[in-house]
Amino acid sequence: MKSFKNNPIVKKLGFNRIILFCILLLMYGVFSILIPGFAGMARIMSIFNYVYFLGFLALGVTFVIATGGIDFSIGPVMFCCALMAGYSMNTYGAPVIVSILMSIAIGLCFGTFNGYLVAFVGVPPFIVSMATMNIAKGLGSVFTQTQSVSWPQGNDPSGKGWFRGLVKIGDIPTGLILFAVAVVILFFVMNNTKAGRYILCLGSNKEAVRLSGVNVRKWQMLAYVICGTMAGIAAIFFVSAYTTVQPGLGDTYNNEAIASCVMGGTSMAGGLASIGGTVIGVFVISLLQEGIMAMRMTKEVQMIITGLIVIVFVYADVSARRRKS
Amino acid sequence: MGEVILQMKLIDKSFPGVHALDHVDFSLKRGEVHALMGENGAGKSTLMKVLTGIYTKDSGSIIFEGKEVEFHNTHHAQEAGIVIVHQELNMIGDLTVAQNIFIGREFKKGFMIDDRKMIEESKKLFNELHIDIDPRARMSDLTVGKQQMCEIAKAISHKAKVIIFDEPSAALTEKEIEDLFAIIRDLRKQNLGIIYISHRMDEIKVITDRVTVMRDGSYVGTLITNDCTKEDIINMMVGRVIYEEPKTHSMVPKDAPVVLKVEHLNAGKMVQDVSFELRKGEILGFSGLMGAGRTETARALFGADPKQGGSIYINGEKVTINSPEDAVRHGIGYLSEDRKRFGIVVQKTITENSTLAALENYMAGLFINKSAEKDVTVRYIRELDTKTPGPEQLVVNLSGGNQQKVVIAKWLVRNCDILIFDEPTRGIDVGAKNEIYKLMNRLASEGKSIIMISSEMTEILRMSDRIIVMCEGRKTGEIAIEEATQEAIMDKATRDIK
């Protein structure tokens, strides 16, 4: 076991991530055996649908958690983006491309707002994101007069349904390609750019980074901006897969995104983050959701399980740190 | 003075790498005020922590009221009647005075807290001590002096027999100190034993009956205050043995230009009107006792803390430094006294720490040029002789001395010309210490200018070309190395009666 852990390839990939990946495969196997008809392309496509939007949320929040912060507003922000952009399209006749850009812009605004309050004003991230969560829910409801918003179907006669090609063209899961591109970009941002370096270092010891002459506020804020923008992008993938968005919801996805991060090895204490780990975590959560639905259990069961996952993995992280120090 | 109430015999305590207390003796009588003196790191606080159960002693015995005792925590010591009044106040600002005094042992009326009784009891206590404080006042509305009085009242309310004052006057005004002394005299009359830790020579003469001096974790001797002079005490504190050869003359050429000039720097209470000059290739020592304002001066200069006034000139040009970012841009690097909190990112690699202050020089477009980064890190590992398996090692796994080298490397990678070394050898073993000294001398000879803050007299005398002494936020002296002696420095570092 020890020699396996010290193998250079294993070290590069991360022992915990390999284990998590094995868990993912094992879960798929178990579900396939327990649930008749679970194995097969249809399920996998359905899992992918969930992976896309949850993936963008989780990738974004990975940056915030890396700074030692937290963002509980991403789920509702995603819904708020989808609601406002969709409502603008349906009611005011905005072109699809404008709506898509609008969704991303709204996410960016929320992220900037959160980041400014945390980094420059000094409000604790927990409080800021709790408040923003409610603002996003409220804003989405007010803007749409508390009506659900449906984005055009793929076969919509107006031709507005083209954006669904972002997710799927025929049987080709194009969304997977876009997601993979985003993963690669964000992997490099986290590991090979100044932004990622400073975000990780300030998450570990903000004061030491500040005393090295780095403008820590700017970089801390950037993490929230990335996170908000990702929520705006996630909104597009959400409506591409599921069409209808209801106001006042979205908070369950916070926990699922955060669970994906902590499973993947991103530390809630900040300073340590793994983009690859987050991706595997997203697949685990998406598979879990699909399996639970297939077993005819409710979404609430899944909420219990994701809640427990967060606790277990945070405990594992905390106790690992304690052992080290 | 009565019989002996407390006796500590041959107390010994070691921490990894440090022999903190070397068979120390100490005895305290009823009705006496006994001063405990020594330089920073002499072991005073450690001795008191052993007494009150914060640390467990390795050997030796504590005899309290005729019986051998061993306390396991402060609570345990408190119950026996030994109470410590800390330098930093342990009060909760939003509670009232009475609530603070009885915290953890509130009077109850059924399930409810009986506030009225706590207020009455507090009043009684204050009357006994002749203190005029309203027990209903919020703690944060009181002055530091008054808060200290409350802390004392709290101590008394524990039926204390021995009270330890750990630098009680550090934050007090003249008037408050007088009030404090009145209380201490009162307590002495009531036959309590009082241990008084302070750096202020004049106070020792005024308030104490005996003085015990410690040095380097050892007991040096005990004097009767009335029979000794300030010089006697200072001589005992510094000792006559000098372990390392002091520098005999300044290494700085006579015509070396002034690289840094600080004029009338003010920042809070701890930095008051500090002015000095630093020349190219100079090691400027900052000496003084704990709380003299040296670190605060450095932090204000570096832009880490806000300042209220003062001008800074670098190479003759006036500069504005409002943040560490500004300071680093002007070529100043700061090695903090608290390496782990302010110096390094422990969970990151040597490489990531080394380039932290100069990352923009290691970029290839948007991306970090990892191979260039690695090259420079390896270069400084070799140059500073940092002991590590490689540049990818996490800093947390290095020893204190090697961590310090990583911090130094960070500023060398940034190519800073002015380096502030704040307690550069704190928590570093002797061998590594010498290496850091050699390195500092080399840097100075290469034309870097160094400000070295140190609480170790031998370090100051060995390294500095010139010495600035601070006391209570002010610069109290500037001594050329040729004229510097431990006594001369200590004289300027301790407060005199005005």
Residue A21 lies in a domain: no
Q: Read off the amino acid at residue A318.
A: V
3-state secondary structure of B406: helix
Q: Give the torsion sign (CA, B463, B468, B470, B473).
A: negative
**A217 - beta bridge partners?**
none
Q: In what order do the strands lie in the sheet with B67-69?
A: B18-29, B4-15, B59-64, B67-69
3-state secondary structure A181-229: HHHHHHHHHHHHEHHHHHHHHHHHHHHHHHCCCCCHHHHHHHHHHHHHH
3-state secondary structure of B26: strand
**How many whole angstroms separate alpha carbon A270 and alpha carbon B190?**
54
User: How many residues comprise chain A?
Assistant: 325
A193 and chain B in contact, CB less than 8 A = yes
**How many whole angstroms separate alpha carbon B62 and alpha carbon B10?**
9
The set of residues, in sequence order, having a beta carbon less than 8 Å from that of A300 and lying 6+ positions away, is none
**Under 8 Å between Cβ of A260 and A277:** no
Residue A61 lies in a domain: yes
Nearest chain A Cα distance for residue B309, angstroms: 21
Residue A2 lies in a domain: no
Q: B258-493 maps to which CATH number? A: 3.40.50.300
Q: Alpha carbon of A102 to those of A52, A75, A83, A242, B133: distances in Å?
A: 19, 17, 11, 19, 62
**Pair of tokens at residue B257:** 């230009």
| pLDDT of B171 | 65
**How many whole angstroms separate alpha carbon B46 and alpha carbon B13?**
8
**How many whole angstroms separate alpha carbon B455 and alpha carbon B103?**
37
Kindly tell me if the per-residue pLDDT of B243 is higher than 70.
Answer: no
3-state secondary structure of B215: strand
**How many whole angstroms separate alpha carbon A82 and alpha carbon B416?**
51
Residue A26 lies in a domain: no
**How many whole angstroms separate alpha carbon A83 and alpha carbon A99?**
10
3-state secondary structure of B496: coil
Helical segments of B7-159, H only: 44-51, 74-80, 97-101, 115-129, 144-157
A203 and chain B in contact, CB less than 8 A = no
Kindly tell me if the per-residue pLDDT of B15 is higher than 80.
Answer: no
**How many whole angstroms separate alpha carbon A68 and alpha carbon A317?**
13
Q: Do B324 and A205 touch (CB under 8 A)?
A: no
**How many whole angstroms separate alpha carbon B91 and alpha carbon B148?**
9
**B318 - beta bridge partners?**
B313
**How many whole angstroms separate alpha carbon A181 and alpha carbon A188?**
11
**Residue spans per domain, chain B:** 4-238, 258-493
Pick from B189, B273, B204: which is nearest to B237 by CA?
Answer: B204
Q: In what order do the strands lie in the sheet with B218-224?
A: B82-85, B162-166, B193-197, B33-37, B210-215, B218-224
A8 and chain B in contact, CB less than 8 A = no
What is the enclosing helix (H) or strand (E) of B36?
Answer: strand B33-37
Q: Which residues from chain B sit within 8 angstroms of residue A200, using beta carbons?
A: 348
Residue A300 lies in a domain: yes
**Under 8 Å between Cβ of A81 and A105:** no
Nearest chain A Cα distance for residue B96, angstroms: 27
Average pLDDT over residues B168-191: 82
For chain A, the maximum distance between any two Cα atoms, rounded to a whole number of angstroms, is 63
* Pick among A11, A206, A212 to test the B interface (most B CBs inside 10 A): A212
Q: Do B347 and A204 touch (CB under 8 A)?
A: yes
| pLDDT of A97 | 94
* Complex-level ipTM: 0.86
Strand-pair category, B210-215 with B59-64: unpaired
**Under 8 Å between Cβ of B104 and B186:** no
Look at chain A and report how many structural domains it folds into: 1
Q: Give the torsion sign (CA, A196, A202, A208, A211).
A: positive
Q: Alpha carbon of A48 to those of A22, A180, A184, A275: distances in Å?
A: 18, 12, 18, 18
Q: Which of residues 255-274 of A touch B (CB under 8 A)?
A: 271-272
**Under 8 Å between Cβ of B437 and B405:** no
Average pLDDT over residues B444-457: 91
Buried b (16+ CB within 10 A) or exposed e, B386-396: bebeebebbbe
B446 and chain A in contact, CB less than 8 A = no
Number of Cβ pairs < 8 A linking chain A and chain B = 72
- Report the residue of chain B nearest A189, measured CA to CA: B367
**Under 8 Å between Cβ of A63 and A223:** yes
- The CATH homologous superfamily for domain B4-238 is P-loop containing nucleotide triphosphate hydrolases (3.40.50.300)
Q: Do B343 and A208 touch (CB under 8 A)?
A: yes
Query: B82-131, pLDDT tens digit by residue?
Result: 988 876 667 888 889 999 888 888 888 888 888 899 999 999 988 888 88
**How many whole angstroms separate alpha carbon A244 and alpha carbon A86?**
9
Nearest chain B Cα distance for residue A191, angstroms: 9
**How many whole angstroms separate alpha carbon A259 and alpha carbon B291?**
46
A192 → closest Cβ in B304, B347, B368:
B368
Q: How many CB atoms lie within 10 A of CB A318?
A: 13
Radius of gyration of chain A (CA): 20
**Under 8 Å between Cβ of B410 and B333:** yes
Q: Do A213 and B329 touch (CB under 8 A)?
A: yes
| pLDDT of B242 | 46
**How many whole angstroms separate alpha carbon B286 and alpha carbon B294?**
7
| pLDDT of A196 | 96
Side-chain-side CA neighbours of B261 within 13 Å: the count stands at: 9
Q: Give the CATH number of the domain where residue A132 resides.
A: 1.10.3470
**Mean pLDDT for chain B?**
88
- What is the 8-class DSSP label of residue A274? -
Q: Comparing B4-238 with B258-493, is the CATH topology the same?
A: yes
A204 → closest Cβ in B327, B345, B357:
B345
Per-residue pLDDT of chain A (325 residues; tens, 9 = 90+): 567 777 777 777 788 889 999 999 999 999 999 988 888 888 999 999 999 999 999 999 999 999 999 999 999 999 999 999 999 999 998 999 999 999 999 999 999 999 999 999 999 999 999 999 999 999 999 999 999 999 988 787 887 888 888 888 877 888 899 999 999 999 999 999 999 999 999 999 999 999 999 999 999 999 999 999 999 999 999 999 998 999 988 888 999 999 999 999 999 989 999 999 999 999 999 999 999 888 888 888 888 988 898 899 888 888 877 766 5
Q: How many CB atoms lie within 10 A of CB A150?
A: 13
Q: Give the torsion sign (CA, B61, B64, B68, B73).
A: negative
Using a 10 angstrom Cβ sphere, with 0-12 exposed, 13-18 middle and 19 or more buried, the burial of residue A198 is buried
Q: Give the torsion sign (CA, A170, A171, A177, A179).
A: positive
Query: B25-76, pLDDT tens digit by residue?
Result: 999 999 999 999 887 668 888 899 999 988 889 999 999 999 999 999 888 8
Q: Which residues from chain B sit within 8 angstroms of residue A271, using beta carbons?
A: 345, 347-348
| pLDDT of B498 | 39
Residue A28 lies in a domain: no
**Pair of tokens at residue A32:** 């396939």
Pick from B88, B52, B64: which is nearest to B4 by CA?
Answer: B64
B360 and chain A in contact, CB less than 8 A = yes
Query: B286-324, pLDDT tens digit by residue?
Result: 998 877 899 999 999 999 999 999 999 999 999 999 999
Q: Which domain holds residue A274?
A: 39-324
Q: Please tell me the least confidently modeled range out of B53-62, B166-175, B367-376.
A: B166-175
Q: Do B345 and A205 touch (CB under 8 A)?
A: yes
* Separation of CA A283 from chain center: 11
**How many whole angstroms separate alpha carbon A272 and alpha carbon B166?**
41
Kindly tell me if the per-residue pLDDT of B170 is higher than 80.
Answer: no
Q: Alpha carbon of B107 to those of A123, A255, B104, B111: distances in Å?
A: 37, 44, 10, 10
**Under 8 Å between Cβ of B36 and B44:** yes
- Report the residue of chain A nearest B321, measured CA to CA: A213
**How many whole angstroms separate alpha carbon A225 and alpha carbon B315?**
40
**Under 8 Å between Cβ of B350 and B391:** yes
Q: Which residues from chain A sit within 8 angstroms of residue B346, using beta carbons?
A: 204-205
Q: Alpha carbon of B319 to those of B273, B281, B324, B447: distances in Å?
A: 18, 21, 13, 21
Mutual orientation of helices A41-66 and A251-263 as an angle, nearest 10°? 80
Pick from B396, B277, B280: which is nearest to B348 by CA?
Answer: B396
**How many whole angstroms separate alpha carbon A82 and alpha carbon A86?**
6
